[in-house]
Amino acid sequence: MNKSENRMWALPGLLAVTLWIVGIALLTHNGPADHATGSDILAWYRSETNTILFGGWLFMLGCLSFVTFVAGLRVRLADVVGASSPLPGLALAGAAIAAVCGMLTAGVDVGGAIDKNDIGPSTAAAFHHFLDVFFISAELAAILPVGVVAVVAWRTRLLPRWWAAFSALVAVVLLIGPIGWLGLIFGVPLWTIGTSLFVLLRSPERARGTEPATA
């Protein structure tokens, strides 16, 4: 198997971000304000049903693509740090948890749109606002794949050290509650795009990442 074939697992990372952007754009189309009433939210479910369903479906597919990307990344990490290291497994576990929470974040509005004729304003409000619970959970879970890459990239040639520093910065932002949303909405997609492109475009010798990086 040639080197380009070995790196094709990084493409789902780019696909994930594309699906997230399109999905969120559709999910928030004509969406209710932050302090909208239950009646406003229910009216939105009823008027934008198809847009919500399609946007939510695309966003959830993006979450699956993200797990696929990190699963490929786990293999590369294991090649670098050794199969006995817990770091590759932690990265994949964190990505899977973050993806599930991300799917549930979109899923609550998808559920509201599906059940729009069987729920009242109070239930619609509960559906819509419950996404905050899953969003916060995704913030914390995303620390694992981003943080693991920061550690491994700093210690090896797998990725540049400046990218390791950026990954560490994103992980720290995700950890800080009041600003964690910035890390999830902006940091994780940028990290996913950057990591995917580094894997796809770096020369085979530098992408191999089998030796410790020099200071």
Domain boundaries, the chain: 3-207
Report which of 66, 205, 211, 206 is spatially closest to residue 152, judged by C-alpha positions. Answer: 211
Report which of 5, 176, 10, 125 is spatially closest to residue 77, judged by C-alpha positions. Answer: 10
In the prediction, which pLDDT does 158 show?
A: 84
CA distances to 76, 135, 199 from 70, rounded to whole Å, are 10, 19, 12
CA dihedral 79, 82, 87, 93 (to 10 degrees): 60
Sign of CA dihedral 4, 8, 10, 16: positive
In the prediction, which pLDDT does 197 show?
A: 93
What string of pLDDT tens digits covers the 215 residues of the chain? 344 446 788 999 999 999 999 999 999 989 898 889 999 999 999 999 999 999 999 999 999 999 999 999 999 999 899 888 999 999 999 999 999 999 999 999 999 999 999 999 999 999 998 889 999 999 999 999 999 999 999 998 789 999 999 999 999 999 998 999 999 999 999 999 999 999 888 755 555 544 444 43
In whole angstroms, what is the distance from residue 10 CA to residue 202 CA? Answer: 12
In the prediction, which pLDDT does 8 show?
A: 83
Q: For the segment 101-128, what is each residue's pLDDT rounded down to a tens digit?
A: 999 999 999 999 999 999 999 999 999 9
In the prediction, which pLDDT does 112 show?
A: 94
Which long-range contacts (C-beta less than 8 Å, at least 24 apart) are formed by 171-180?
171/143, 171/146, 171/147, 174/139, 174/140, 174/142, 174/143, 174/146, 175/140, 175/143, 177/136, 180/136, 180/139, 180/140
The amino acid that residue 135 corresponds to is F
Which DSSP symbol is given to 82? -
